[in-house]
Structure 1
């Protein structure tokens, strides 16, 4: 008896023109709940379908931007997690605050997002 996969294939369009024509599809495999629909839409992350073609796994360059998503855990401690973000969406999620108030799932628990910044080394 087969069990359902706990991972999902995601991708972000990098480059391209209007409608992402000619864009490279940077793809990776992550946990199924890592990018809830409301968060994925804002970050520009697409859940891949079995019929999607042209997905590039393991590319070192170019890579999507990384953003640090801040949230407060049940004990009141400030925590953060890192997620990929389409370069065209960085302004919306950092200075625009489009993720604030949305929910993100970490280790099976949902938390409210309260900030988002560009990840620095």
Structure 2
């Protein structure tokens, strides 16, 4: 069953444009790894890791929206080149694909923020 979930995830990532979704996936892995490393660190080193988590999670969000904008621009170029009416399913499918990378970027951003909140709670309880 787990293989089906990962298969669906990678299928969606390919649909959303591998140039944008795979780097976001790598950023997700890096964010989680940095979060785990930060749990083991204290002081100035932990603060630098928290800052890095903040920056790379924000980068994932912006990278996803950049992917959406470039995808929509190319989609609208293709639509404007067609002289006939475009079918609604084709337009809806194109918009769906355009929304995959920013959605994934938002997810990574939220994971990064959740990690930062968890670290802040951990430090508060000391």
TM-score band by shorter chain is under 0.3
Give the structure-2-normalised TM-score. 0.26
Query: Which has a greater percent of helix?
Result: 2
Query: Which has a greater percent of strand?
Result: 1
